[in-house]
């Protein structure tokens, strides 16, 4: 692993040096000697004006694999500049599911590119494009080996010997009847450890399939739970369509994690080296939403301006109430979003989770209310002020932990990614509740 990382860093260093001295002929040679993932990493790290020039140096036979490794936003830009024939050539080295992923980055050109392919290839690719990319059918690879149960091990072995190659990650063969109905799986190890006269029927293992309409996240959970290398994909009539392999799942999880991290930060799938204007547009929306929510919190403070003018200590202590609530809410929100992502939070345990977080809010509320009120009393020598901020902290922590559960569940029900909107909405709730409870109690008890 260390040698691989060292090689990767050496490649990046050599490539950067060659770019600086404009030694593009040597750079093209270097590309042909290295892995597509290394080339993709280099291209992704270059500014846009240089990136397109360097892309032209990628060997044609490697272009598809390099595109497959590049982030979506950069890939869309590169594909947009390529001729139809170049795109078709690049796709030829990829599996159907990977081809479909690339075509979904340029939907306006998909039909044109499909028309440029031969009939058999187009038909296979359209079978994958039929399914959304977030279901098992969108991840599946049609390159599978299927055999029948009424043949012997010797027949299967002779069939395999005649093939020019075997698909990668093939640890099992899929068994069907004459109509293509899926019956089970036959592991390669079973073929190698039994006599040639043994019938496939005797070695057949049941199960091991997934519906093409199963959510991709659920498919990933199945792979993780059962430690699978490959899994058959079937339609509603149990007809074998293709297979999903562990590398498909790894790619899906990688893309999902990247998107979740960007959404959590209030950005989309942004190219880090895109122009200033383009990056600003990506980020402006949620900054604008955040401004609206901040104005709401400011309005609450403005309503108690007279109280703040009379007692400056309120202005000093206000950030403590809001900050404590914000942190408590963020902790809960992180736990809930993670549970949703892993499929752990379901209908039967949502109420239990809400009760648990309310309990945490009550315990932490009491603990930190005592702590903060003690500090306030030591600081300002006012028992009423210390009681006021203690009660406000208690209220805000309970509300924050409750909201940390309720907000993402509501967002999910509305089909809005809680990683995008949860943080903004939760911050608004804790700020408004914190300020209102603290300043409102101060107006009643102190002024």
120: confidence class by pLDDT, cuts 50, 70, 90: confident
- pLDDT tens across 29-55, in order? 999 999 998 998 888 888 877 888 899
- pLDDT tens across 166-188, in order? 888 899 999 999 999 999 999 99
189: confidence class by pLDDT, cuts 50, 70, 90: very high
- pLDDT tens across 219-234, in order? 998 998 888 999 999 9
Closest by Cα among 112, 9, 105 to 64: 105
| 193, pLDDT greater than 80 | yes
Burial class (CB in 10 A: 0-12, 13-18, 19+), 21: exposed
Helix, strand, coil % (nearest 5) of the chain? Answer: 70, 10, 20
pLDDT of residue 283: 66
- 3-state class (DSSP) for residue 231: strand
Residues 6+ apart with CB under 8 A from 355: none
> What is the CA 61 to chain-centroid distance, rounded?
29
* Cα 397 from Cα 82, distance rounded (Å): 55
Enter the tokens of residue 78: 């590169």
Element (H, E) at 205: none
- 3-state class (DSSP) for residue 360: helix
**Mean pLDDT rounded to a whole number for the chain:** 85
276: confidence class by pLDDT, cuts 50, 70, 90: low
What residues form DSSP beta bridges with 132? Answer: none
| 266, pLDDT greater than 60 | no
Instruction: State residue 337 phi and psi, 5-degree precision.
Output: -60, -40
Instruction: State residue 256 phi and psi, 5-degree precision.
Output: -65, -45
pLDDT of residue 420: 65
Radius of gyration over alpha carbons of the chain, in Å? 29
Closest by Cα among 163, 125, 124, 129 to 146: 163
Closest by Cα among 262, 205, 196, 255 to 232: 205
| 129, pLDDT greater than 90 | no
**Distances from the Cα of 429 to the Cαs of 36, 324, 330, 395, 442, in angstroms?**
47, 13, 12, 12, 20
281-297: average pLDDT: 73
Beta strands in 80-123 (DSSP E): none
Residues of the chain with pLDDT > 70, as a percent, come to: 90
What residues form DSSP beta bridges with 233? Answer: 210, 242
Contact assessment for residue 311 and residue 447, using Cβ atoms and an 8 Å cutoff: yes
Domains and CATH numbers, the chain: 2-129 (1.25.60.10), 146-264 (3.10.580.10), 276-445 (1.10.357.20)
| 207, pLDDT greater than 80 | no
108-122: average pLDDT: 88
* Cα 394 from Cα 389, distance rounded (Å): 9
286: confidence class by pLDDT, cuts 50, 70, 90: low
> What burial letters (b/e) apply to 94-131, b meaning 16+ CB within 10 Å?
bbbbbbbbbbebbeeebeebbeebeeebeebbebbbeb
Contact assessment for residue 429 and residue 329, using Cβ atoms and an 8 Å cutoff: yes
String of DSSP letters for 295-359: HHHHHHHHHTHHHHHH-HHHHHHHHHHHHHHHHHHHHHHHHHHHHHHTT---GGGHHHHHHHHHH
String of DSSP letters for 123-142: HHHHHHHTS-TTBHHHH-BS
Contact assessment for residue 326 and residue 430, using Cβ atoms and an 8 Å cutoff: yes
Contact assessment for residue 168 and residue 245, using Cβ atoms and an 8 Å cutoff: yes
């Amino acid at each position: 692993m260390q040698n691989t990382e060292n090689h990767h860093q050496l490649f990046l260093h050599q490539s950067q040096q060659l770019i600086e001295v404009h030694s593009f002929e040597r750079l093209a040679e270097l590309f042909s000697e290295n892995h597509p993932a290394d080339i993709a990493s280099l291209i992704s790290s270059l500014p846009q004006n240089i990136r397109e020039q360097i892309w032209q140096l990628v060997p044609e036979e490697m272009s598809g694999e390099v595109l497959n490794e590049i982030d979506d936003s950069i890939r869309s830009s590169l594909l947009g500049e390529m001729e139809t024939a170049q795109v078709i050539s690049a796709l030829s080295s990829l599996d159907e599911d990977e081809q479909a992923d690339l075509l979904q980055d340029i939907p306006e050109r998909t039909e044109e590119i499909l028309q440029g392919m031969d009939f058999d290839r187009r038909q296979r690719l359209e079978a994958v494009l039929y399914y959304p990319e977030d279901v098992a059918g969108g991840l599946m690879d049609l390159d599978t080996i299927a055999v029948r149960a009424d043949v012997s091990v010797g027949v299967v072995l002779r069939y395999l010997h005649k093939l020019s190659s075997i698909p990668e990650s093939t640890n099992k063969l899929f068994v069907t009847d004459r109509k293509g109905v899926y019956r089970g799986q036959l592991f390669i190890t079973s073929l190698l450890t039994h006599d040639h006269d043994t019938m496939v029927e005797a070695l057949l293992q049941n199960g091991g399939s997934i519906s093409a309409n199963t959510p991709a996240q659920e498919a990933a959970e199945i792979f993780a739970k059962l430690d699978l290398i490959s899994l058959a994909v079937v339609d509603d009539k149990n007809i074998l369509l293709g297979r999903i392999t562990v590398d498909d799942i790894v790619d899906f999880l990688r893309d999902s994690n990247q998107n979740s991290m960007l959404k959590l930060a209030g950005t989309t799938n942004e190219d880090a080296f895109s122009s200033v204007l383009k990056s600003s547009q990506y980020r402006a929306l949620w900054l604008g939403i955040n401004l609206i929510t901040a104005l709401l919190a400011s309005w609450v403070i403005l309503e108690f301006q007279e109280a703040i003018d009379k007692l400056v200590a309120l202005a000093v202590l206000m950030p403590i109430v809001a900050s404590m609530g914000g942190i408590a809410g963020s902790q809960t929100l992180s736990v809930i979003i993670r549970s949703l992502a892993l499929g752990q939070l379901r209908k039967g345990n949502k109420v239990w989770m809400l009760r648990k977080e309310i309990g945490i809010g009550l315990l932490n509320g009491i603990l930190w209310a005592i702590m903060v009120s003690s500090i306030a009393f030591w600081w300002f020598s006012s028992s009423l002020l210390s009681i006021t901020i203690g009660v406000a902290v208690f209220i805000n922590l309970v509300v924050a932990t409750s909201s940390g559960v309720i907000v993402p569940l509501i967002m999910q029900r509305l089909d809005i990614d809680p990683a995008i909107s949860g943080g903004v909405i939760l911050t608004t709730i804790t700020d408004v509740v914190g300020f209102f409870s603290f300043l409102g109690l101060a107006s009643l008890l102190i002024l």
